[in-house]
Amino acid sequence: MYKYEKKIKDLGLNKSGLPKSIAGPIKELEDAIAEMSDLQKDLSELEEGDESKGDIENEIAEYQKIIAEADEDLVVKIQTYVDKKPYYDEKYKHMRQAAEAKKQAKAQPQPAPSPAPAPEPEPEIAPEPIIYPQPAPEPKKEDDGIGSWLLWGGLGVIGILVGVNVWKNRK
């Protein structure tokens, strides 16, 4: 029995009740254990003088090391999960209550506010409108696209002429 299995048993947990962050590595570890047992079976079926025996023994040793490390990591993950479980359960409970309250508030129709008695309207005196002077809008300076094209085109022509002149003078 591996350490993670003992930890699950000691804490009274069930493998199927564990979160995916723990269940996934457990499945990978169990797959690695199955592969290692297949290798051990193959090793036991080999003859004494077989050349691949050393390779299989090395693979088995690597699997044992990887499995031991993964087993330790799983024990830590399981313990962390158990330590934080009350916090997450409380948080889940609070979120569920909030969702239920929101659902109930949505289901209950909101009472229409009762109309307040209308007070007697007072005669209104129309205020004189205040006219503020508006500043004259500043003319917008538009970017002249043609001018910039002419500038870049002229620079390009000058660059070509200088390049051709330099090329001719080199010969």
pLDDT confidence of residue 87: 87
pLDDT at 154 over 90: yes
pLDDT confidence of residue 43: 81
pLDDT band at 156 (very low <50, low <70, confident <90, very high): very high
Indicate the pTM of the whole model.
0.52
Amino acid letter for position 89: D
pLDDT tens, 112-153? 666 666 667 677 777 777 777 777 777 766 666 778 888 999
pLDDT tens, 41-57? 888 887 777 777 888 88
Q: What is the mean pLDDT of residues 95-114?
A: 80
pLDDT at 78 over 70: yes
